[in-house]
Structure formats: C-alpha cells, structure tokens
Amino acid sequence: MLLYKLSEIEMQILEQLESEDGIDKEIYDTLKFTEEEILVSCARVYRQILSDVQVCKDEEKRLSERKKRLENNAARLKELMFDGMKMTDAKKIHRPEFDISIKKNPPSLQIAPDARIPDEYYKAQAPILDKALLKDDVKSGLFIDGVQLVQVERLEIK
C-alpha cells in the first residue's frame, strides 16, 4: 500500500531499492547532485519504505504468533499420543505412512539446588565491557588511552 502518490522517478527508485541489484548508477548520479524537489521525492520513497517495513513487521508478528500456536498444538497432540500409548502399553505402531514408537532419551543430569559441585566443573567467562559506564566516565573527563567520544551527523526526516 502506497502512502504517497509517487511519480515515475520515485517508483523507479523504490523498485530499484527493493531489487537485489540496488539503485543503478544513473539514478545514483542524479541523486548525488540533488535539488530540493529530488530530495523531497527521496523523502517520499524513504517514508514508503518505512511503511513497507512496518507492514513486514506486522506480518512477521502475525505469522510468529500463528507458528507458536501450531507448535503448541503439535506438542499437545504428541503428548496425548504419548499418554495414550503408555496407557495401552503400546511400544510401537507400524503403518505404511510412518512408525510411532516410544523410545528412551539419553541420560541427563538432575542437579539439586543444594548440590556442592567442585569448581573444576564450572567454565570461566570472559569479562563483559560496560559501555554505558565507560561512556559516562569519559564524558565526565576521564582519559582512557584508545577511547574517545565521537559525535556524527545523520539525516532526519520528520
């Protein structure tokens, strides 16, 4: 769904940005030395792309929720089948389409909350850099070799 009535050049830009090849050199060169109207056209295309991104996010969320529901339904059905086979003491059912059987899982550890496990079974973990604290300290004047605050510019479209 288009937010704006896009001109032919805007539609070309949008189509090229959505293609795998990206934007072609001719349009790129046109955009490099832009006039105000071309910038406004680009802003329309930019907003259209953001609108398409939101549509994709919404659809992704809807499909993710549906996937989760289907996975839960499949898990419940499998659990019902397992319980049914256990109650009837069936170990294996063979059909031309598939086999259904109850198998033993590989052994796994159960660790009590109060277990006293020797240190040799724990893995050492690398230290994690606290960037927020480091940034605050550098902002307040602390000098650390190789660390500096950098402020860059960005284009904003409101």
Q: What is the CA radius of gyration of the chain?
A: 30
How many independent structural domains does the chain possess? 1
Q: How confident is the prediction for the chain on average, in pLDDT?
A: 86
DSSP character at residue 101: E
Q: How far apart are CA 123 and CA 132, in angstroms?
A: 26
Range of the domain at 75: 8-105
- Report the pLDDT value the prediction gives residue 153, as an integer from 0 to 100: 87
DSSP character at residue 145: T
Q: In sequence order, what are the beta bridge partners of 94?
A: 99
Give the list of residues 6+ apart from residue 158 with CB closer than 8 angstroms, or none. Answer: none
- Is the residue at 114 inside a domain? no
Q: Which amino acid is at 31?
A: L
Neighbours of 6 (CB within 10 A): 16
- Give the rounded distance of the alpha carbon of 66 from its chain centre: 17
- Torsions phi, psi for 56 (to 5 deg): -65, -40
Range 66-83 average pLDDT: 96
* Torsion angle in degrees (nearest 10) through CA of 98, 103, 109, 111: 90
- Is the residue at 148 inside a domain? no
Q: Which two tokens stand for residue 56?
A: 């994709």
Q: In sequence order, what are the beta bridge partners of 92?
A: 101
- Report the pLDDT value the prediction gives residue 15, as an integer from 0 to 100: 73
- What percent of the chain has a predicted confidence (pLDDT) above 70? 80
Range 5-18 average pLDDT: 68
- Is the residue at 94 inside a domain? yes
- Report the pLDDT value the prediction gives residue 66, as an integer from 0 to 100: 97
Per-residue pLDDT tens over the stretch 116-137: 999 989 999 999 999 999 999 9
Q: How far apart are CA 105 and CA 113, in angstroms?
A: 23
Owner of token pair 């089948």: 81
The CA-based angle 6-49-31, given to 5 degrees, is: 65
